[in-house]
Amino acid sequence: MAAAPFKQYRSPESSQEVVELLTRYGEAAVLLAGGTFLHGLAARGLMSKMEALISLQKAGLDYVKPQGGSLTIGAMATFRELLDASPVKGRPELGAIADALEYPPPQILNAATVGGSTASAYPLFDLPVALIALGGAVVAQGPGGRREIKLEQFFLDYFRHALGKGEFLAEVIVPKLPDRSASAFLKLETNANDLALLNVGVRVTIDEEGLCRGAVVAFGGGIGGVPVRAATCETYLEGSRLSAKLLDESAQAVTHDVHPISDHRASARYRATAAKVLARRALIRALARLGLEFG
């Protein structure tokens, strides 16, 4: 493994101090969260121009707080801490989070962080797609203060995000979702330790009459540089009465929304076919959390 060239190791004890260090070291600074992705970048020599390694470990960002129905997740909350947080356990509307965190192995659950997973801006990761389905946003903190960025605007391309100079990802926010909402997440992988060939996060809101009052269907994995929303599929669902036929039709509509890539792991055609199957299964899984059986 290529030795990391860092001349400075800093361990700030507040968000303010993180911003000061980022401002001081500029593009020569790199943040360290759980280190599970960063170590791979360092091993490939991609850290060669970096001078300062800034650990977020002591910055006081390892919390998961319910706030009036919404959820505020500190950037340094680990996958395990999020999974075990009482606001997440057993809530149908947050089912996508629990589903997405079923996949990583225990070592990653214990070390990887919500902030690191999101700020990596790697479209093959799972949690960000689940968070998009939930309408999530990040809180960026920088020299100009704090600003909220919807996750859909946060991801710009492979490894590119919307954080500006001196900014870091301080929190992820999941907004309060309407009553009778449920979500789910599914991943297609070649083996148990694989990154997604394709993944999908869905969220539905169903009223007392059985009409769909809100739907989000988001795909990640091999679909290009950023996760995508399946707008045509969502339009099929919105305002419609749920039935097995409607679920079939809406899943078929994914064809208009998702244009996967071909690579050494799977062809675009395979992924496109799988996208329809995955969307239907994820919708069925979410609806089952509301006691509605279509499987």
Site for ligand FAD, rule CB under 6 A: 30-38, 56, 75, 103-105, 108, 111-113, 115-117, 119-120, 125-127, 168-169, 193
At a CB cut-off of 8 Å and minimum separation 6, what does 211 contact? 239, 240, 241, 242
- Residue pointed to by tokens 């301080």: 170
Per-residue HEC secondary structure of 5-54 comes to: CCCEEECCCCHHHHHHHHHHHHHHEEEECCCCCHHHHHHCCCCCCCCEEE
Nearer to ligand FAD, 126 or 234 (CB): 126
Q: Tell the smallest beta-carbon distance from residue 155 to ligand FAD (Å).
A: 13
Q: Which helix (H) or strand (E) holds 250?
A: helix 244-253
Q: Tell me the C-alpha to C-alpha distance, in Å, between residue 50 and each of 1, 17, 39, 167.
A: 16, 19, 13, 17
Nearer to ligand FAD, 113 or 181 (CB): 113
Question: Shortest Cβ contact with ligand FAD: which residue?
Answer: 116
Query: 171 or 234: whose CB is closer to ligand FAD?
Result: 171
Q: How far is the CB of 61 from ligand FAD (least distance, A)?
A: 7
Q: Whole-number minimum distance, CB 81 to ligand FAD, in Å?
A: 12
Nearest approach, Cβ of residue 69 and ligand FAD (Å): 24
Strands (E), 95-180: 137-142, 145-150, 155-157, 160-161, 168-174
CB of 44 to ligand FAD, least distance (A): 12
Residue pair 61/115 in contact (Cβ under 8 Å)? The answer is yes
The residue (of 108 and 216) whose beta carbon lies closer to ligand FAD is 108
- Choose between 214 and 221: whose C-beta lies nearer to ligand FAD: 221
